[in-house]
Amino acid sequence: MSTGHQTLKLGVLGSGSGSNMQAILDAIGNGTLDAEIVLVLSDNPEAYILKRAEMAGIATEVIDCDGYVTRFPDDSQVAVGQMLRDAGVDLVCLAGFMRIVKAPLLEMFPERLLNIHPSLLPAYPGLRAWGQAVSDGANESGCTVHYVDAGMDTGPIILQSSVPVLAGDSAETLHARIQLEEHQLYPAAIRKVWAKLQSES
């Protein structure tokens, strides 16, 4: 993994529709992010993120989690890390990836694993953060891009963007507005992290 002045190579891990991966692709396409997604991995063989990647001509692989529904076994993480390394990935972006990353992958990509979460962390970690915000009667929500550590949405924050919770908001309407912000924030955070890595190289 070099950090010289060249096009950034991204690997993406996702479990769902891949809308944030699409936002990264769109930023690359419109020239606001000098990067290339070289590999997309999913633990769900039916995930639409794989179809999006295939339509864009990006290599894909399904992650074998040894039959576990929620765990991310160490041997699976090592295999994922090797696939990412073999593809020449500089930064790994989690985009709706529903398993907690632990030591094997974190050690293979130190300070090079990013995640996006639909709340203003540390508020509302975990699942359905937008629903938690509405249920709590919060005035504000938003999204956060952070470095991945071994906890659940606990890594150092890179960038955040706030979204007001409006009177009459449902979980779904709030989530839709947060997603619009996510799609702007993730490419900006990737640019920020890559510039930092290049300045340190």
Instruction: Return d(Cα 32, Cα 161) in angstroms, integer.
Output: 18
Q: Which two tokens stand for residue 199?
A: 């300045």
**Which one-letter DSSP state was computed for residue 27?**
H
Told to judge if 117 belongs to the known catalytic residues of this protein, a careful annotator would answer: yes
Question: How many C-beta atoms surround the C-beta of residue 128 within 10 A?
Answer: 14
Structure tokens at 120: 């203003």
Contact 8, 93 (CB under 8 A): no
Q: Which of 5, 117, 146, 175 is catalytic?
A: 117
**Residue 125 and residue 120: Cα distance in Å, rounded?**
9
What single DSSP character describes residue 101? -
Burial of residue 118 (number of CB atoms within 10 Å: 0-12, 13-18, 19+): buried
Q: Are strands 140-147 and 113-117 parallel, antiparallel or unpaired?
A: antiparallel
Catalytic site residues?
A: 117
